Structure 1
Amino acid sequence: MKTYYIVRHCQANGQSEDASLTLQGIAQSHALAQFFSSIHLNQIISSPYKRAIQTSEPLAHAKQLEVKIDQRLAERVLSSKPMDNWYEKLKHSFTDLHLTCEGGESSLEAMNRIVEVLYEQINSEKDHTLFVTHGNIMSLLLKHADATIGFKEWEKLSNPDVYVLTYFKPDHVEIERIWHKETAE
């Protein structure tokens, strides 16, 4: 059995790659470290975005683990240009996985890159890995494991949020949300 924790970053000051955590986000990152204090981890792998790295730092310090950076955990870019109807496009991208907006990445392309990271870990010796990533790409990973997951589940994500994926055998995975807003309060 292998266990993977998928963490959405804590509250941040924006969506850019260099957006940092808010004061509340910093407090949330420490709450996450406390939440994971009794959970065994072999490694932490983070998106290269500043808010994801900052989310992982207190936990890495507490567990005495290095934060490994993986570009494939970066957030999905829906479009390189501002779109007035981005919300509707995003919603539609959960049912049409091939939908691509100008300069953007389809859901299938984004899903494939994060799934690649996961399967590298499944095939490794490490059996308790924590990934720190972003809401859209996280929900696409969850959708890969359970096709019924979609836009509604993305809408319900919090900052931070934590799901655990447990692999019992190659084709059997269980998904459980283990973080709720009440967890931090």
Structure 2
Amino acid sequence: MKKIYLVRHCQASGQEPSASLTKEGRNQATKLAQTLGSIPFDKLYSSPFRRAVQSIEPLALQLDKAITLDDRLEERTLSGNPIDNWLEELEKTFRDLSYTVPGGESSQKATSRGIAAISEAIHHTKEYAVLMTHGNLLTLMLHHFDPTYDFKTWKALRNPEIYCLHFQNGEIDSIENITLIEDTP
């Protein structure tokens, strides 16, 4: 059994690749390290976007593990230009996985690169790996294994969000949503 943890980054100040975590996001990253810190991860992978790297750094420091940056974990580009009706367009990409907004990336293409990153993690991991990514891509990867994960799932995601994919002999066995440890009074 191998367990691959897919994690959506913590709260950030924006959507651009250089956006940093907010103060709340930095607190969430600390809680994320507390939540996942007892797991003996073999590998830590992250989108190179700043908010993703900052989200996984406390865990990497706690475990004294290197972070492998993987461009395949970058957030999906919905459109080449800003669009006012982006939410409607995003929903279309979940209903029709081949639909592409001009200058954007289809759900099929994004899913393909995300699944390739998961496959590599499975191949290079003894038992546990974590992949720090973004909400849209995370939802598409979950959808690949279970179509009930959809646009509504994406809309309900939190920052951060943790899913554990259980693989048996290279095949998906189950998907588990993990709750972030909260401060106790």
TM-score, L = length of structure 2: 0.95
Report the AA paired with residue 139 of structure 1.
T
Which position in structure 2 is the counterpart of 1:26? Answer: 26
Residue 28 of structure 1 contacts residue 184 of structure 1 at CA under 8 Å; is this kept in 2?
Answer: no
Extract unaligned runs of 5+ from structure 1. none
Percent identity reads: 43
Q: Is the 8 A contact 1:10 1:159 kept in 2?
A: yes
* Structure-2 change in CA distance of 1:34 and 1:115 (3 Å): same
Q: For 2:143 and 2:125, locate their aligned partners in 1 and report how far apart those are by CA, in whole Å.
A: 25
Give the conservation status (yes or no) of the 8 Å contact 1:81–1:103: yes
Q: Tell me if 1:60 matches 2:60.
A: yes
- Residue of structure 1 in register with 2:128 after alignment: 128
1:184 aligned residue? 182
Q: 1:141 deviation in Å?
A: 0.5
In the TM superposition, residue 80 of structure 1 has moved relative to its aligned partner by: 1.1
Paired letter, 2:92: H
**Counterpart in the other structure of 1:13:** 13
Q: CA deviation at 1:117?
A: 0.8
**Residue correspondence of structure 1 range 84-163 to structure 2 within 5 A:** 84-163=84-163
Task: Specify the code of the residue in structure 2 equivalent to 1:106.
Answer: S
User: Any conservation in 2 of the 1:145–1:173 contact (CA below 8 Å)?
Assistant: no
Q: Which residue number in structure 2 is paired with residue 38 of structure 1?
A: 38
Secondary structure of the corresponding residue to residue 184 of structure 1: coil
Q: How much has 1:92 moved relative to structure 2?
A: 1.4
Task: Structure 2: state its 5+ residue gaps.
Answer: none
Post-superposition offset of 1:171:
3.2
The whole-number CA distance in structure 2 between the counterparts of 1:149 and 1:3 is: 19
SS state of the match for residue 94, structure 1? helix
Name the SS of the counterpart of 2:84 in structure 1: coil
Runs of 4 or more, structure 1, over 6 Å off, are none
- 1:51 counterpart residue number: 51
Select between 52-61 and 120-129 the one with higher mean Cα deviation.
120-129
Q: How big is the alpha-carbon RMSD for the aligned residues of Structure 1 and Structure 2?
A: 1.2
State whether residues 77 and 105 of structure 2, in contact with CA within 8 Å, keep that contact through their aligned partners in structure 1: yes
Q: Match of 2:121, SS? A: helix
| Aligned-partner residue type, residue 6 of structure 1 | L
